[in-house]
Chains A and B, each alone.
Chain A
Amino acid sequence: MNTNWQELFNRVADGIQSETDELDLAAVLRASPEARRDYRAFMELHAALHWDASCLAQPVHERLAQRVAPPSGKGFNSRWLAAAIASAVVIAVVIAVGGFVAALAILPERERATVAGDVRVPPAASQPEPLAIIKRTQFLVPGENGPVLQPGRPFSGGRLAIRGGAVELVLRNGVTIILEGPGELDLIDEMAAFVREGRVFVRMPKGMHGFRVRTASADVLDLGTEFAVGIGSGNATDVQVYDGAVIASSSSKLEASRSPKRLQAGQAARFRPEPSAESQPLPYRPDRFVRELKNDGAIAVPVRTDEDAVTAARIFGRPQHDSITVHRAPPAMIVDGRLDEWAGRPGFTSTRDGSADCPEWANGRMMYDDGFLYIAAHVGDPLPLRGIIDPEIDAEFGWHGGGVQVRVSTDRRLGWPARGNSWGYYAQRGIEPTAEQKEWSRNPQLSHLTMWFHAPTQTPCLTIVDGMLVGELRVNPAGFTGAFQADKDGKGYTLEYAIPWTLLGCADDPPQSGDVLAAVWQVNWSDEVGHMRREHMVEIRNRNEPLRINVFERAMTWGRAEYR
């Protein structure tokens, strides 16, 4: 970028520009397409840092804990997910506040005092602990671009959106919230949440009350209780009380329909957003809402006493990507290791240790058509293509000699995330899997692919194991094609494979455009001899799973393969 432009753009971005700078900027933008291109790239960066810096440029744990829960004001809305949706809801919030005031009017003095602040924990700014901790997740499908939702992780407030499964939060004052997906809520502070979508269960600690849940059509104030709120069709809000009582009111503009209702344990009611609608009693159904989550069993490997961060990274990798695009392949694919057909179909690029100049790196890509899954990689490797692992003798150890492993789910009904653990996962943790968990582990549409080059015979090799490594090892099965090419500079190689869906258990229902399935990559680098793995890296990993779990033993750790 032109140095003068660069300095000018920076002064403008930092608000220290002069009037002359402003005139210069306009002049250069009018005159030069290159300047406009650079200015666009610069402003994209400026915008992205504003959106993302606090959650990307940091060791996540520490800084999340320092963040103050965002206010519910203007800036808050526009920074959290779809400000568009927020704009539409703002009106509803204003209306809901009216209902809340009405509810307060009928509360006894003691309860009003509680709502006003008796039990509130001081603001986060004076306390280092986060607003909430993720306690459990079950079958979780997180929302896009949201915070990491691993059990044990802090949640600093604001938008919480999930597309499936459920997540349980424990707030720092002891309040428990379970959000069922698809669902979306704004955790405003330790005593208030706004539910936009989905179903939410709230449990107050004994002796505490005053938690408030608002929706577009209702305002619910807890009086010491367990209760649940669900948003249904037409934005109607269902409220059900399990224990204690709540004061619930409609957010309708009409005074008559807004009059607060007291709901006791064993009662339920529906509140509609229409102006004239009054609340309707509903039959009480204890099992309508999820009140308890069973942990999925994401149990991380304990930290060893002799283990430092470098060793941990060598064991579990340092994944930088959580998804890969699987592009539609062009017609007439030729698998020759040259990757001519892959132009314009990006995947991921990572280095083993995260540094820019690391000699071990990989550019991984995936494509598909009606008959095949295609996998290609350009791998930076100072000791390329030396593998001596004989597929006829030691095929299960093919990865020792370098190469690429890709683990994929082709189960369209399962979607993402995949589920299923290896027998070893259970054994090492002393867990007896349930019959259902065993069934997940045997899913024939989970496939572990190992691709390596057998140097003595100059042969591209492939092994496939189904399920969570519980199926039979298939060695160089008929139907696949593979090819390797060494880089001219001797510092790497390319590989290209075409694997028919028939080998992946889905010939009758292969992945389609729009599918999001699970996949994870491991790239292995061998020693000089080509029989011992020297290093490896892991990519395309579910960031909501603890890092200290090996990807080959838990399918939930696999990232997203997005079929286009």
Chain B
Amino acid sequence: MSVPAEFAVQITKYQRQLHAFILSMVWNPAEADDVLQETNLVLWQKAVDFDATRPFLPWAMRFAQLQSLAWLKSRQRQRVVFDSDLVRMLATEAAAEPLFDPRRIALASCLEKLMQPQRDLVLKRYEPQGSVNAMAATLQITPKAVSDRLRRIRQTLLDCVSKGVAREGLA
């Protein structure tokens, strides 16, 4: 099968955006990794159908959406709450999101501004196999207390990102 060069460029470019969308369905980052891989496999199989004159992301989101739904079904999770209409709505809006890259760029400098204990907490949470339950056991506090700490850090980062994007005149 001959894959168009533009296809390879596009699928690489949009990995993060696809992953973020899948994560909004799947919630667990490592499991979202798996769904992303399955989505990539399907995208490669469908590469010959890709019309390079049309936007890549909405096209790819359709497959990400289907793979996410299949994953939800296979796990018997969220099957009631995240139906196909809601997933489709989230996918459509995610494909049209103009601030994905500006926010990602702004995040880099926002992370630099975190205090060391905050950085450590983020790293622990997002390291491979990291979880609030494991952190709670280590810190001898409840998972909810860990999650509350993370919530405050995430809010700080979201505020910082939002300001950074606004400063660039994009929001």
Contacts and interface: CB of A to CB of B under 8 A. Distances in A.
Q: Do A and B come from one complex?
A: yes
Interface of A: 1, 6-7, 10-16, 22-23, 25-26, 29-30, 36-37, 39-54, 56-58, 63, 74-75, 77-79, 81-88, 320-321, 342-344, 346-347, 349-350, 354-356, 363
A47 to B, nearest CB: 4
Nearest to A81: B12
A1 B37 CA distance: 32
Interface of B: 8, 11-12, 15-16, 19-21, 23-24, 27-30, 32-34, 36-37, 40-41, 43-44, 78, 80-83, 86, 89-90, 93-94, 97, 99-100, 102-104, 107-109, 111-114, 119, 122-123, 125-128, 131-133, 143-144, 146-148, 150-151, 154-155, 157-158, 160-164, 167-170
Contacts of A355: 113
Contacts of B100: 44
Contacts of B27: 12-13, 15
Nearest to A342: B169
Contacts of A53: 111, 122-123, 125-127
B67 to A, nearest CB: 12
B86 A84 contact: no
B29 A46 contact: yes
B166 to A, nearest CB: 10
Contacts of B103: 41, 44-45
B95 to A, nearest CB: 11
A320 B108 contact: yes
Contacts of A320: 108-109, 112
A318 B84 CA distance: 47
Nearest to A44: B20
A47 B22 CA distance: 9
B78 A344 contact: no
A11 B148 CA distance: 9
Contacts of A343: 169
Contact of B37 (A7, A87, A350, A356): A87
Contact of A22 (B78, B122, B170): B78
Contacts of A13: 27, 154
A1 B158 contact: yes
Nearest to A46: B23
A50 B32 CA distance: 10
Contacts of B29: 46-47, 50
A41 B99 CA distance: 9
Contact of A26 (B28, B86, B93, B169): B86
Nearest to A347: B168
A354 B112 CA distance: 8
Contact of A87 (B41, B127, B146): B41
A496 B12 CA distance: 36
Contact of A50 (B102, B126, B163): B126
Contacts of B133: 15
A45 B146 CA distance: 18
Given A26-B81, A45-B161, A84-B40, A349 B168 contact: yes
Given A12-B27, A346-B170, A56 B112 contact: yes
B78 to A, nearest CB: 6
A22 B123 contact: no
14 contacts: A12-B27, A29-B89, A40-B94, A41-B103, A43-B23, A45-B157, A53-B126, A54-B126, A58-B123, A75-B128, A84-B40, A85-B8, A85-B12, A346-B170
Contacts of A36: 89-90, 93
Nearest to B93: A36
A45 B132 contact: no
A87 B67 CA distance: 15
Contacts of A56: 107-108, 111-112
A384 B21 CA distance: 45
Given A13-B27, A26-B86, A48-B107, A88 B112 contact: no
A1 B162 CA distance: 11
Q: Which of B41, B104, B154, B163 has the most CB of A within 10 A?
A: B154
Contacts of A344: 169-170
Contacts of A26: 78, 81-83, 86
Contacts of B151: 6-7, 10
Contacts of A54: 123, 126-127
A44 B19 CA distance: 9
Contacts of A42: 154, 158
A320 B82 CA distance: 39
B155 A84 contact: no
Contacts of A15: 27-28, 131-133
Contacts of B83: 26
A86 B90 CA distance: 27
Q: Which 7 A-B pairs have the closest CB atoms?
A: A26-B81, A50-B29, A346-B168, A78-B33, A47-B20, A43-B24, A84-B40
Q: Which of A15, A320, A344 has the most CB of B within 10 A?
A: A15
B169 A6 contact: no
Contacts of B127: 53-54
